[in-house]
C-alpha cells in the first residue's frame, strides 16, 4: 500500500527507518527533514576527527542526500527544520533554513527522530568565543578548525562521560594540556566507583588532570584564553573549553503538540514505537525506553538501540508487527590503550531500583598465560541474591574486553542465570582465551557462592573490620608482595606455607583472607574451611584495593583505606 511518510531527523534512527521503509515498500513516498547539513553521520566518530585519527571529514558521512536519492529514491532535505506538527490536519510546518521560507507538508505517517541536544547550563559567560559543545558534524568541524588554526595548548573538558573522555584523549594525543572537570567523584557513570578508579589511573598516567567532585560555575574572558570558574577552588585557565556534561531529549516539538512525555521530557512510546498520538512514531535518544533488567522506564542514548528502534518503527509503519523489547545499555569505549565496557546495571543502579544484589570480582588474563602477550582485565559481575538473575557487568582491560562483555550481554538478553555462565561452551585457543574463559570463571565463582564454598568480603568493608583479637586478618601473598604494600592488621602467611603454619591461626575466630587478585586467598579459604575455620575471601584482591586507595589519596576522599606503604 502506497503511503507518504515524513521523518524528522536523520542520523541513526531516522536514516535507518527511511532505508527500511524503502526496502519494504517501493511505492511509499519518504521525505527526511534534517535541520543540520548532514543526514546520516558517524556520531560516535566525531571525537576522532578532532584528534586527526579520522583524517577525511567525508568518512564521517555514512549517507549523503544524493546517495539516498540515487539508491533509495528518498527525498532528503537538509537545512530544513520542522517547526510545528498539526495532527488534526496531518501536516507539519517546515522552515527552509537557507531561504527562510516556511511551508506545510502532509503525511500519512510521521516519524520523529530528533535525537538529543547537549545540556547547556545557564552559566555566566556561556556562549562566548572558544567555548564549544560537541553533538553534530558542524560542531566537530568548528572544533577541528579551531584546533588546526589556533593551535591551542590547553583545554578544559566539562564532563567525564563517553564524549568527554574521547575528546580528552584526542586532544591530549595532539599534545595539549587537558583537564576534565566532573561534578561526581568519578568519570563514566555506568561504572561503579571502584571500577572507575582504574580509568582514573589510566587518565592520570597519560597526563590528563582530573578535577572530580567540582562544579563549573561560569566562564570569563582572560586575554586570548578562558577562565573556567569552579565552586570553592581557584579557576582554571585554558585556550579552549568543551562542554560535554550530558544530553537531554530534544522534544520541544513533541511537547508543543501534546505528545505524552516521560523522563526528562522524553517521548513516551509503546513497544511498536508509537507515540500517544495516532500515526506519529518516535525513535532514538528522544524516547523513553523499557529497561530490560529493572523493568522500569529509562533513558539510554546509544546508537545500537536507536538503529533497532528505527527498523522496528519502519516495520510497523509498513503494516508489520515488530516490537522493541527494551534496552540494557551495553557499551564500550576506548581510553588510550585501555578498553572499558559495561552492560546492564551497575551496583548503584541495582540498589536504587530496590534489587538485592551480590557480586564477584575477578582479574583473569585475556588469553592463556603461557601464550605471549596476555593482558589482565578486571571484571565485576552483578547478580540478584536468591534468584541468581544476571543484573550487569563491568570489564576494564585491554585485549578481549569487548568479547567478554558481549557474551555477558547475550546471556542476560537470553535470560540465563549467573549460575549458567559456567556451562557456556566458548571458543578456545591459546592466543584468544583460556580453557576456562573469564566468563566461565565468573560462573564458577558464583556457583561456589551458591554452594557455600565461597564467602566474600569487599573493599568498602575493610574499614569496618574489628581491629582487636575478635577476628584473624590474613594476607596469603608472598613476603615480597606483602612488603611492597599491605593493609594494616593483615598478617602475612603465604599460601604455600599455610598448611604447615595453620596452628598459628586461632580457632573459633572468623578469618578474613586476601591476596593479589582473589585466587590464592580463595585457595587459602578452602584449606581453612576444611580445617574448621569460618573464612571470608577478599573479592578483587589487593590489586583492586590498592587502585582504590591511590585514587582516594589523589582525590583526597575519605574512603576506608588504612594501608601501609
Report the C-alpha gap between 520 and 528 in whole angstroms: 12
Report the C-alpha gap between 409 and 258 in whole angstroms: 36
Q: Are 487 and 448 within 8 A, CB to CB?
A: no
Q: Are 118 and 285 within 8 A, CB to CB?
A: no
Element (H, E) at 75: strand 75-78
Report the C-alpha gap between 226 and 129 in whole angstroms: 9
Predicted confidence (pLDDT) per residue in 228-276, tens digit: 999 889 999 999 999 988 888 999 999 999 999 999 999 999 999 999 9
**Res 561: pLDDT:** 46
Inform me whether the pLDDT recorded for 562 exceeds 60: no
Predicted confidence (pLDDT) per residue in 438-494, tens digit: 999 999 999 999 999 999 999 999 989 998 889 999 999 999 999 999 999 999 999
Distances (CA, A) of 392 to 328, 333, 422: 9, 17, 16
Predicted confidence (pLDDT) per residue in 143-188, tens digit: 999 999 999 999 999 999 999 999 999 999 999 999 999 999 999 9
pTM: predicted TM-score of the whole model, two decimal places: 0.93
**Res 444: pLDDT:** 98
**Res 303: pLDDT:** 85
* Residues near 230 by beta carbon (within 8 Å), at least 6 away in sequence: 181, 211, 214, 215, 216, 217, 236
**Res 556: pLDDT:** 67
With 0-12 CB in 10 A as exposed, 13-18 as middle and 19+ as buried, what is 497?
A: middle
pLDDT, the chain, mean: 92
Note the Cα 504 to chain centre separation in Å: 47
**Res 2: pLDDT:** 63
Report the C-alpha gap between 368 and 375 in whole angstroms: 10
Active site residues: 44
What is the spatial order of strands in the sheet that 378-384 belongs to? 331-335, 338-344, 390-397, 378-384, 357-362
**Res 538: pLDDT:** 98
Q: Which three cell numbers stand for residue 254?
A: 513533541
Report the C-alpha gap between 318 and 299 in whole angstroms: 27
**Res 62: pLDDT:** 64
Using 50, 70 and 90 to split pLDDT, how confident is the model at 42? low
Of the candidate ranges 126-130, 354-358, 433-437, the one whose mean pLDDT is the lowest: 126-130
Supply the angle between the helices 541-555 and 193-205 in degrees, to the nearest 10: 70
Predicted confidence (pLDDT) per residue in 495-521, tens digit: 999 999 999 999 999 999 999 999 999
Q: Which of 557, 542, 565, 545 is nearest to 210 (CA)?
A: 557
Amino acid at each position: 500500500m502506497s503511503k507518504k511518510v515524513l521523518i524528522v531527523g536523520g542520523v541513526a534512527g531516522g536514516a535507518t527507518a527511511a532505508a527500511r521503509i524503502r526496502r519494504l515498500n517501493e511505492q511509499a513516498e519518504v521525505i527526511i527533514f534534517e535541520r543540520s547539513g548532514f543526514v546520516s553521520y558517524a556520531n560516535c566518530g566525531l571525537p576522532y576527527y578532532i584528534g586527526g585519527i579520522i583524517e577525511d571529514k567525508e568518512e564521517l558521512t555514512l549517507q549523503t542526500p544524493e546517495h539516498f536519492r540515487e539508491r533509495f529514491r528518498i527525498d532528503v532535505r537538509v537545512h530544513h527544520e520542522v517547526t510545528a506538527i498539526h495532527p488534526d490536519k496531518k501536516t507539519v510546518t517546515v522552515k527552509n533554513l537557507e531561504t527562510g521560507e516556511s511551508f506545510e507538508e502532509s503525511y500519512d505517517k510521521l516519524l520523529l527522530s530528533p535525537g538529543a541536544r547537549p545540556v547547556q547550563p545557564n552559566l555566566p559567560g556561556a556562549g562566548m568565543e572558544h567555548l564549544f559543545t560537541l553533538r553534530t558534524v558542524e560542531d566537530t568541524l568548528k572544533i577541528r578548525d579551531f584546533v588546526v588554526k589556533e593551535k591551542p595548548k590547553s583545554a578544559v573538558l566539562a564532563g567525564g562521560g563517553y564524549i568527554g573522555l574521547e575528546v580528552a584523549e584526542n586532544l591530549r594525543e595532539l599534545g595539549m594540556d587537558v583537564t576534565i572537570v566532573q561534578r561526581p567523584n568519578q568519570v563514566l557513570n555506568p561504572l561503579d566507583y571502584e571500577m572507575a578508579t582504574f580509568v582514573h589511573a589510566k587518565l592520570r598516567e597519560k597526563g590528563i588532570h582530573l578535577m572530580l567532585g567540582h562544579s563549573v560555575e561560569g566562564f570569563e574572558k582572560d586575554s586570548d584564553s578562558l577562565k573556567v570558574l569552579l565552586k570553592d577552588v581557584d579557576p582554571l585557565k585554558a585556550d579552549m573549553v568543551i562542554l560535554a556534561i550530558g544530553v537531554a531529549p530534544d522534544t520541544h516539538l513533541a511537547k508543543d503538540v501534546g505528545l505524552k512525555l516521560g523522563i526528562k521530557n522524553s517521548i513516551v512510546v509503546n513497544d511498536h514505537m508509537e507515540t500517544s498520538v495516532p500515526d506519529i512514531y518516535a525513535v532514538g535518544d528522544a524516547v523513553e525506553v523499557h529497561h530490560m533488567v529493572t523493568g522500569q522506564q529509562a533513558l539510554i542514548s546509544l546508537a545500537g538501540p536507536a538503529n533497532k528502534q528505527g527498523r522496528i518503527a519502519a516495520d510497523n509503519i509498513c503494516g508489520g508487527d515488530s516490537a522493541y523489547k527494551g534496552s540494557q545499555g551495553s557499551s564500550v569505549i576506548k581510553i588510550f590503550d585501555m578498553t572499558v565496557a559495561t552492560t546492564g546495571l551497575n551496583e548503584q543502579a541495582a540498589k536504587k531500583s530496590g534489587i538485592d544484589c551480590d557480586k564477584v570480582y575477578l582479574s583473569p588474563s585475556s588469553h592463556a598465560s603461557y601464550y605471549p602477550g596476555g593482558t589482565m582485565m578486571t571484571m565485576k559481575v552483578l547478580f540478584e541474591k536468591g534468584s541468581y538473575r544476571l543484573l550487569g557487568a563491568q570489564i576494564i582491560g585491554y585485549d578481549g574486553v569487548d568479547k567478554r562483555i558481549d557474551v555477558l550481554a547475550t546471556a542476560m538478553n537470553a535470560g540465563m542465570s549467573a549460575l549458567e555462565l559456567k556451562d557456556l561452551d566458548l571458543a578456545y585457543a591459546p592466543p584468544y582465551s583460556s580453557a576456562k574463559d573469564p566468563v566461565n570463571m565468573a560462573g564458577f565463582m558464583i556457583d561456589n557462592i551458591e554452594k557455600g564454598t565461597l564467602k566474600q568480603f569487599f573493599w568498602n568493608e575493610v574499614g569496618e573490620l574489628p581491629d582487636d583479637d575478635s577476628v584473624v586478618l590474613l594476607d596469603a601473598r608472598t613476603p615480597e608482595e606483602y612488603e611492597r604494600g599491605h593493609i594494616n592488621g593483615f598478617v602475612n602467611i603465604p599460601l604455600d606455607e599455610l598448611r604447615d603454619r595453620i596452628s598459628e591461626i586461632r580457632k573459633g575466630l572468623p578469618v578474613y583472607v586476601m591476596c593479589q587478585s582473589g585466587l590464592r586467598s580463595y585457595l587459602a579459604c578452602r584449606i581453612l574451611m576444611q580445617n574448621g575455620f569460618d573464612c571470608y575471601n577478599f573479592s578483587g584482591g589487593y590489586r583492586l584495593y590498592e587502585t582504590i586507595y591511590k585514587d582516594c589519596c589523589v582525590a583526597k576522599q575519605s574512603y576506608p583505606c588504612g594501608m601501609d606503604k
